[in-house]
Amino acid sequence: MQATKFLVPALISIPFLCTPVTAATILKVKVDHAGGRYTVMFDARLDADSAIIRQHLTDYDNLSRLSDAITESRILQTYADGKQRILVTVSSCVLFFCKTIKNVQDVETLDNGDIVSRSDPEESDYSYATQRWQIIPENGHTRLKHQAELVPKFYVPPLIGPWLVKKRIYNELRITVQKLEILAGDTEEADEADEE
């Protein structure tokens, strides 16, 4: 058994060395594991404009601003229907065990504004992975909901592995939301300065 097989980070949301202080409120988080499949439900309220949140979540060439663990993110192809194929490479560690995970996924924005993705199992370290982000304006704030199903190709030990993965996914989502809120605030301040 290889020690590097202990890890499975979620798509865009990854661990950080420090936790920024923001007004982001976590309303609900649930991570379940059964039969090698991780299901994620996450709901948060951000003190930021929804258009700016969307801008940062869909800036696929710069996802590393949402996570120190993302070592590469880029658009591989844009299709005629507007869908995009993106690559996200993540390096993540738990204790002294580290793993680099490649995720190639097709992403689209639905008519209702939801952002959905599906990983290509031939090109990714997931045999199956889907994600959905909902970005909902709410009285000057943003409601951000995330749902995902992840089936890693690599081995996760059955006893402590799922517990570590669930804890990591929770922390990754929480901190990614905080980073988003900080980036949105910085963008709003820059826009206001440009108007002066």
Q: H helices then E strands: how many in the chain?
A: 2, 8
Tens digits of residue pLDDT in 108-125 = 999 999 999 999 999 999
Task: Establish if 132 belongs to a structural domain.
Answer: yes
What CATH number corresponds to the domain at position 161? Answer: 3.30.530.20
Task: Establish if 52 belongs to a structural domain.
Answer: yes
What is the mean predicted confidence (pLDDT) over 74-92?
94
Task: Establish if 56 belongs to a structural domain.
Answer: yes
Task: Establish if 23 belongs to a structural domain.
Answer: no
pTM score, whole prediction: 0.79
The CA distance from 21 to 26, in Å, is 13
More confident residue, 5 or 103: 103
- CA-closest candidate to residue 188, choices 20, 46, 48: 48
How many separate domains does the chain show?
1
Q: Which domain holds residue 113?
A: 3-15+33-190
In sequence order, what DSSP letters do the residues of 40-101 get, joined into one string?
EEEEEEESS-HHHHHHHHT-GGGGGGG-TTEEEEEEEEE-TTS-EEEEEEEEEEETTEEEEE
Task: Establish if 62 belongs to a structural domain.
Answer: yes
Task: Establish if 150 belongs to a structural domain.
Answer: yes
Tens digits of residue pLDDT in 49-78 = 999 999 999 999 999 988 877 899 999 999
